[in-house]
Amino acid sequence: MEKVGKRGHVLLLPYPSQGHINPSLQFAKRLVSKGLKATLVTTIFIAKSIRPELGPIGVETISDGYDDGGFAKADSIQSYLKRLETVGSVTLAELIKKLNRFGADPINCIIYDAFLPWALTVARQFGLVGAAFFTQSCAVNNIYYQFGKGLLKVDPTSTTTRTSGVLISGLPAPFQLSDLPSFLGVPGSYPAYLELVLNQLINVEEADWIFVNTFDKLELQVVDWMTKIFPVLRTIGPTIPSAYLDKQIEDDTDYGLNLYEPDSSICMNWLSSRATDTVVYVSFGSMAELNKEQMEELAMGLMGSNFYFLWVVRASEENKLSSKILEDIKSANQGLVVRWSPQLKVLSHEAVGCFITHCGWNSTIEALSLGVPMVGIPQWTDQTTNAKFVEDEWGVGVRAKVDDDEKGITTRKEIEVCIRKVMEGEQGKEIKRNANKWRKQAQEAVDVGGSSFQNIDEFIAKLICS
């Protein structure tokens, strides 16, 4: 599609955390590259915490009611979400009025994170197009949809459920309890978060568009099933910088926004001294927390594998590793432990042959897009379902098993075995072939004529004609 000129102005409103902001930001870049005007809307607190380099994308703020501390200042997730809706609705409406009064390009669409369904109500107040953006996989959204509608019954006490698993329409069968999102597989856990993910679908039938951060071929069966229920559903991913995919957007080499202070030279210099496919990269994202025992088992498993490893341990997690373990890692000259890494640069480096991940959706789709095999050690929420697909459906890695005890620890021996499965032998070669296949298909999806490319073009064409 040729650039349309600034004939449409889209507000993109992500949930205020980096894992949600990055996909929205990349979606905005795609829209701008095709001629739309796009403005990213985040909270006042988030805006204070970052130094965005977003080029032609505008940045505006609303309030979540916690301008001086964000989510950390709230008493609970329930109180945060309630105040975010109450204050956010009012300040979003004020922002639209301001931009329409003083801006050269009036707003005509809000693309809002599905975690924020109240934004559709605000869009309707101003007669704007409202588009829900789901940043998790289509499979996970399908599971939440069916559970919320009462179409999926999960009974952990049922003998049939425990032995035969759960059948889910639109998805490969069967799913074991451990494959379901943790809010469903472990009933009663995190009730506020279960309410949050179910509320994504509370008014989704009223949305003009439904966008999902995936691509058609990756989830062909479930995308087809969901599109029959929601005809306006379109895939627009993977939402990672263009330099790693189709290279259509000039200078799009990074997300351009980090809540953590980046220093990439240490990681990249260390990787550059290692041979191809000899390094295991380890990162559990910006939120997952491992207990002390799991951290130690992971450390021993990495050292026992005899592969080089680059391990991201956030500052808040460092106290879970003893000084002896850190000293052993350093003296063995086998691993590098850092507080932060430029993940896309690391995953795309030829030295990296394996990614040990919590299987958050952003990390999973980055690895898929860059052809990196995975060892999944999921912790909670959608990560368990993503890990199932990594191993069973896409064949791009293995899921580490958990001990049967209540602590749910993945042992050092299991970690060693999983690393070797991915890095060595015939199974490792097959996993690498599959990873390369999905990398090519991810690139094709966003390149000219690809499914995501065409879906975005369709949206723009209809938006500027409305």
pLDDT, residue 5, reads: 46
Q: Model confidence at 403, in pLDDT bands (50, 70, 90)?
A: confident
Query: Model confidence over 22-63: pLDDT tens digits?
Result: 999 999 999 999 999 999 999 999 998 876 667 889 999 999
Query: Model confidence over 136-192: pLDDT tens digits?
Result: 999 999 999 999 999 998 887 776 677 678 999 999 878 999 999 998 877 777 889
Integer Cα distance of 143 and 139 in angstroms: 6
pLDDT, residue 406, reads: 67
Which residues contact residue 324 at a Cβ distance below 8 angstroms, ignoring those fewer than 6 apart?
none
Which residues contact residue 333 at a Cβ distance below 8 angstroms, ignoring those fewer than 6 apart?
none
Nearest to 235 by CA among 256, 210, 253, 257: 210
pLDDT, residue 4, reads: 46
Domains recognised in the chain with CATH numbers: 9-256+446-465 (3.40.50.2000), 264-442 (3.40.50.2000)
Q: Which residues of 237-255 are buried (b: 16+ CB within 10 A; e: fewer)?
A: bbbbbbbbbbeebeebebb
The runs of H, that is alpha helices, within 107-256 are 118-125, 138-148, 159-164, 182-185, 191-199, 220-229
pLDDT, residue 45, reads: 95
